[in-house]
Structure 1
């Protein structure tokens, strides 16, 4: 295997605990939370149970990934952990699929950012080409920002996290005031108790909103003191995000009349109902900031994942090239080109259609990573109770995502294998002395 260029070996590690928590929470709090109350409103209290299951599953998987990070300190991200457990082919397959999920997630988030701006700029939603053009501008704008280095991207992530929490805090305060003043009418608990089909359906809906708790581990090569920082950031970020989601989404769904809760902007409807229409008009702006922060965080990862795979000899070596700051310039640009092609290929569809298709594909592709991480933890006998729960949860949600979507993500996983074998063969030919090691996988 040929060695990467010298200046790629000493990448800077500018992400501390605050930046890592911001990366985890910023990547999790993005597009889903502002629309989820509308989708969950018909399920009532069953949605609360659904949140409890989803948050528990996310925490179990987050703990598994955190402990694997400590157990395998030399592994640069979850795909490398899976390779250590099941071999290089498995590591590549999951890493490739995760890269696909990040690229599709960025497409999804860019579209959602534009969609949230349509109340302020109606033309963005009236003509598909204008909306797609705006999404492309956002994609490349954040790519250019990340090309300036992880420290700049991490600073923006911290700022956008603070801003995106503003509407969450407003809703929490309004919920507490409404309950204390007895001005809220809480939806009654169903006399028949929880209904398993409704709980399952609501839990499946919440999955997209909780993707991203692995973000600190995926950016391990940019994290200062990763063995301590990544587990702490992962668990703190996941627990805090889960608590915010549970309180905010459940509060809106249970305290608003059904017709208002199912509106296109349930956050704005809640603020308008319990406060005033004026402040509610700002929700679209804060929702866009939330999406922008998530797009920034995922853009950082869309460079780090292929960078780590290229350094492991699983992708062409030229993707391992970085600049003096350790920024994976080529990997970032290639990822953004792929995301742009996805947007252009779907440019004749409306924003909602593009968002739905890309969100489902990204969710299903990410689930393979969670499933493999849980299996790797069982293989190494790390975090055993959580690993067992995480494996069951990942299998359940992968099945719940639907056969067609999960099947498509599996096809995309297999589609990357020819590139892997070509890369390994090229590497073996360029380093004959290492041929036995390189062809072992």
Structure 2
């Protein structure tokens, strides 16, 4: 337990949560959202409210549930041990898909330096494979190296995105923005729904916000407040940066871009600056991919440690790296990369994002619906319980809307992937019950 003098304050916690959320998820979104038009900014507004509800609910879960397992532990508080497995399983699958999506983003930005990558979909696939392999191998040296690299590289996306939100308005042209508002004349609700999955993707990682409440001053007040402040700030940056781009780069050019932030800085300054920003984005993608791959290896190791995943996932090297589990994850990532090869990076990215968001909503909904049980078990005040129940219900409702917005194809294949998990659990449930989590 950290002493009071060494505990983190509100500002420090808010900064950490903000950095954790602002990974590489935003760097391809302007081009994806431009497929609909600037009207997709309304999706950001809806997602911002939903994300704040989710952040608050997860913060409360993290404060009052001290069991290992994160979302899986929250889920089991209300739904029992099978939900612990399904939450772990679906989160694992989501992070496998997310890793491929981030690699696709990285290739899109690398094309500015290696034109060969965009010569054909096969060349793009080779680029994705190389990035996945290199970043996975880099994780073999353990968590210390991974943490140091990720902490540095995340600023490769934060600096350009925050910078654009502040200075980009000097280049903003209302006429370009107006012409990009709704180029396909879609209905407002259809336009909002088309962007929900994409914008929600940018906030994935909220679930880790309340993980370290024991190291925070006055956690009952500061953890939820830091989560709300960090999510609000991140939402403002995402919304303003996307709006600025829509008012600088013509919509058709933006929709066709594989490196939208490099493109907008080229419009604002010159190609050299655009290439610098593109290089920063590549750095951010690699760092983010390192972090998420190691996180997923730890998720599977934690599940294996309590007999929910095969024991091979819990095996570690002298550097405390679960290399065998990482290699299994790499094989899954490469297989998924093959299955999602597309003539255009934007299409491949969108398919992966929709599938990842749907599958990630499974552990979200399972864990968020455990909040009321967690609050009751901790005998919180009636006021705190009511607020938590109301906000948690809104968070679940938004998560369900996120499922709807992913589209029929993502829901269809995501449901099959989820149901396959129950086949695995059937074998696990047959084991000695004493080895299962309570």
- Smaller-chain TM-score range? 0.7 to 0.9
After TM superposition, the score normalised by the length of structure 2 is: 0.81
Unmatched tracts of structure 2, length 5 or more: 1-7, 182-186, 376-384
Aligned to 1:292: 286
Deviation at 1:362, TM superposition (A): 1.0
Deviations 1:118-145 (A, max 9, x none): 1210111224444323322222222222
- Out of 93, 108, 115, the position equivalent to 2:108 is 115
Mean alpha-carbon deviation: is it higher for 388-397 or for 403-412? 403-412
Aligned to 2:427: 422
Q: Sort the Cα spacing of 1:136 and 1:259 in 2 relative to 1 into closer, same or farther, 3 A.
A: closer
Mean alpha-carbon deviation: is it higher for 132-141 or for 84-93? 132-141
Q: Sort the Cα spacing of 1:353 and 1:215 in 2 relative to 1 into closer, same or farther, 3 A.
A: same
Partner of 1:395, secondary structure, is helix
After TM superposition, the score normalised by the length of structure 1 is: 0.80
Aligned to 1:53: 46
Deviation at 1:19, TM superposition (A): 10
2:97 corresponds to 1:97: no
Aligned to 2:418: 413
Residues 38 and 266, structure 1, Cα contact 8 Å, conserved in 2:
no
2:231 corresponds to 1:238: yes
Aligned to 2:184: none
- Out of 70, 78, 88, the position equivalent to 2:71 is 78
Partner of 1:74, secondary structure, is coil
Aligned to 2:306: 312
Task: Provide the rounded CA distance (Å) in 2 between the counterparts of 1:39 and 1:63.
Answer: 27
Equivalences for 1:31-430 in 2 at 5 Å? 31-36=25-30, 39-40=33-34, 43-44=37-38, 46-178=39-171, 187=177, 195-215=188-208, 225=214, 234-235=227-228, 237-264=230-257, 265-324=259-318, 326-346=320-340, 351-381=345-375, 383-425=388-430, 427-428=431-432
Deviations 1:373-414 (A, max 9, x none): 221113434622320110110111111112331132121111
Task: Provide the rounded CA distance (Å) in 2 between the counterparts of 1:354 and 1:196.
Answer: 24
Q: CA RMSD in A?
A: 3.5
Residues 153 and 300, structure 1, Cα contact 8 Å, conserved in 2:
yes
Task: Provide the rounded CA distance (Å) in 1 between the counterparts of 2:86 and 2:399.
Answer: 17
Unmatched tracts of structure 1, length 5 or more: 1-15, 429-434
Deviation at 1:78, TM superposition (A): 0.7
Residues 155 and 284, structure 2, Cα contact 8 Å, conserved in 1:
no
Task: Provide the rounded CA distance (Å) in 2 between the counterparts of 1:130 and 1:160.
Answer: 26
